[in-house]
Chain A
Amino acid sequence: MLTRLLLHLLLLLVVAPLLPGIITRTKAVISGRQGAPLLQLYRDIWKLLRKGMVLSTTTTWVFRAGPVVGLAVPILAALLLPFGAIGAPLSFSGDLILFVYLFGLARFFTVLAAMDTGSSFEGMGAAREVTFSCLAEPTIFIAFIVLARISGSLSLDGMYGALLVSGHTLHGATGITLPLTAISLFIVLLAENSRIPFDDPNTHLELTMIHEVMVLDHSGPDFAFILYGSAMKLFVMGALVVNLLLPLASQNQPADVGLFIVAMVILAIAVGLVESAMARLRLIRIPQLLVGTSLLSLFALILLLR
């Protein structure tokens, strides 16, 4: 039990900052540049942790709480989720609701911290973040309902575990719902982690940013927490998709770990490819895409229920 917990945390804490590095490198290679080193994010975090911090006099403790919650939540959520064939250390019936709302909690605090600065730009980013995430939430829940219906279990560990056992024996309507669900979850991953086509993580124009604009006033260790937290959020959300597409279990634990890491790297490359191939959507088109994604997962549910 304890070793499982440690393995889980180790995997999350060590591998997570690698993913944004891979995404950036993929984009650099595609556009013919050399790009930043793969381990750049580790260095950034280390550098920021040693720096001082500037706090605006208008802010209160809420401003400090945002990054801390943002760091704690992905770690907690990761405990509920199996990583490939590595079972979740913590699991109970109905933990999928806790999983989704843990991220809701993190968002709530990020938004509050953004509003706490009193900057109108950050308020605008907060408004966008809240709007888009409330459109993305139905998709996650419908996808989870689909999985719960297939597996007959209400815990994340049970849902993905059942896929693991049945593996490729899924056929007919059930087999076809899985790709649909995986696509929906992948789009939610892009939306929730503010990647292109929803938000450009590289832009530094306040008027178009969503997530980046909310954290403009954070500096030093607080900003390191935010970077680390969002890398881990990407890792956890990525695991949602990877678990679905890779229902493979060898009986050998190191092999499972290796397989999972390779799958996550492939996912990061896929995100990088999407970002190289697409432009950011206009803001008014984003709700349309998110509603379409909800409908896609709803469609999977309809197919499953008939």
Chain B
Amino acid sequence: MDFQAIINGILLFVLLLNLFILGTSRLGTCIKMVSLQGALLALLPVLMHGTPYHALILSASALLLKGALIPWLLFRAIREVRIRREITPRIGFIATLLLGALTTAAAFIFSGQLPLLPEHQHSLIIPGSLATLCAGALLLITRSTAITQVLGYLMFENGIFIFGMLFIKAMPLMIEAGVLLDMLVAIFVMGIVMNHINREFSSINTEQLSQLKE
């Protein structure tokens, strides 16, 4: 636990990124920020557990996937469907931001109540993970374009990734690798789905999917 200060710094930055992503309407910026978040978090296993091959593989694959491959896929997707902004969120940006701050505060309060190991008592891992989970869920719920929902899903996964840091010694590499692979496949599928929605309705607003027609 030599790198406690750096880890807390990274988690702090991740928390600020959460709020930033909730408040911005540009999709390109959103994608960049989510992938920056993922790339930063990919450093955590090495910082927390030194450099056994287990942590190294996890870090490298997470960095490659979340920092490079997925943003590339997403940028390609928004280029193909030609959208730049989230136009009609279900809840306004300021309201989402406020909700995000509320859930962050709640995450801190809640994690203060949990019976944690003494060495995790003061780290930002649990509150950071819960707050990122909540922010991802908020993004999923409040936005109406398919691409921001994918981003919400990615943030959700980032939250789980932070939480997983606590169990890395107990959890086999295969599980984490499986999660990353699942995510990649899911992004692939979402990209294809997005293209199809776009071709059908000439917009990727998922609200139109609730109307049935012949």
A296 vs B101: C-alpha distance in the bound complex, in angstroms? 9
Query: What's the dominant secondary structure at chain B's contact region?
Result: helix
Question: Are B19's CB and A295's CB within 8 A?
Answer: yes
A39 interface residue per 8 A CB criterion:
no
* A178→B89 CA distance, assembly (Å): 34
- Output the least CB separation between A134 and chain B (Å): 14
Assembly CA distance A295 to B9 (angstroms):
18
- Please name all residues of chain A whose beta carbon is closer than 8 Å to the beta carbon of B19 when the two chains form the complex: 292, 295-296, 299
Instruction: Give the residues in chain B near A292, CB-CB below 8 Å.
Output: 19-20, 23, 97
CA distance A160 to B210 in the complex (A): 57
Known: A302-B108, A306-B108. A295 touches B12 (CB 8 A): no
Q: Are B94 and A287 in contact (CB under 8 A)?
A: yes
**Which residues of the partner chain A approach B105 to less than 8 Å between Cβ atoms?**
298, 302
Task: Tell me the complex Cα distance, A298–B106, Å.
Answer: 13
Whether A295 lies near B112 (C-beta < 8 A) is no
Measured CB to CB, the nearest residue on chain A to B23 is A292
Tell me how far the C-beta of A143 lies from the nearest C-beta in chain B, rounded to whole angstroms: 15
> Is the C-beta of A131 less than 8 angstroms from some C-beta in chain B?
no
**Can you list, as one digit per residue, whether each of A289-300 has a CB less than 8 Å from chain B (1) or not (0)?**
001100110110
Given A302-B108, A306-B108, decide whether A291 and B16 contact each other with a Cβ distance below 8 A. no
Number of A interface residues, CB 8 Å?
Answer: 13
Decide if A255 is an interface residue (CB 8 Å cutoff).
no
B97-A291 in contact (CB<8A): yes
Digitize A276-292: 1 where CB-to-B-CB distance is under 8 Å, 0 elsewhere.
00000000000110011
In angstroms, Cα B20 to Cα A299, docked, is 13
B101 near A176: Cβ-Cβ < 8 Å = no
Q: How far is the CB of A213 from chain B (nearest CB, A)?
A: 25
Q: Is B206 on the interface with A (CB-CB < 8 A)? A: no
Is the pair A299, B101 in contact by a Cβ cutoff of 8 Å?
yes
Say which residue of B5, B98, B104, B108 sits within 8 Å of A291 (CB atoms): B98
Contacts of B44 in A (CB 8 A): none
How many whole Å from A135's CB to the nearest CB in chain B?
10
Of chain B, the residue at the smallest CB distance from A175 is: B5
Tell me whether A291 and B94 are in contact (CB under 8 A): yes
Band of interface residues on B: 20 to 34
Which residue of B has the minimal Cβ distance to A295? B101
Give the residues in chain B near A296, CB-CB below 8 Å.
Answer: 16, 19
Q: How far is the CA of A296 from the CA of B15 in the complex (A)?
A: 10
Interface mask (B3-34 → A, CB under 8 Å = 1, otherwise 0): 00100110010011001100100000000000
Interface flag for B93 (CB, 8 Å): yes
> CB-nearest residue of chain B relative to A305?
B108
Q: Mark B175-187, 1 if CB is under 8 A from A, else 0.
A: 0000000000000
Asked if A288 contacts B93 (CB within 8 A), the reply is: yes
Report how far A303 CA is from B8 CA in the complex, Å.
Answer: 11
* A176 to B9 Cα, complex, angstroms: 8
Q: A176-B8, A176-B12, A292-B23 are in contact. Are A298 and B101 (CB under 8 A)?
A: yes
**Complex: A296 Cα to B98 Cα, angstroms:** 11
Contact of B112 among A288, A298, A306 (CB under 8 A): A306
Cβ distance B131 to chain A, nearest Cβ, rounded Å? 10
Residue numbers of B with Cβ under 8 A of A are 5, 8-9, 12, 15-16, 19-20, 23, 93-94, 97-98, 100-101, 104-105, 108, 112, 122, 127
Binding site for B on A (CB under 8 A): 172, 176, 287-288, 291-292, 295-296, 298-299, 302-303, 306
Q: 20 A-B residue contacts at CB 8 Å?
A: A172-B5, A172-B8, A172-B122, A176-B8, A176-B12, A287-B94, A288-B93, A288-B94, A291-B97, A292-B19, A292-B23, A295-B98, A296-B19, A298-B101, A299-B16, A299-B19, A299-B101, A302-B108, A303-B12, A306-B108
Other contacts beyond A295-B19, A299-B15, A299-B104: 15, CB < 8 A: A172-B8, A176-B9, A176-B12, A288-B97, A291-B94, A292-B20, A295-B97, A295-B101, A296-B16, A296-B19, A298-B101, A299-B19, A299-B101, A302-B108, A306-B112
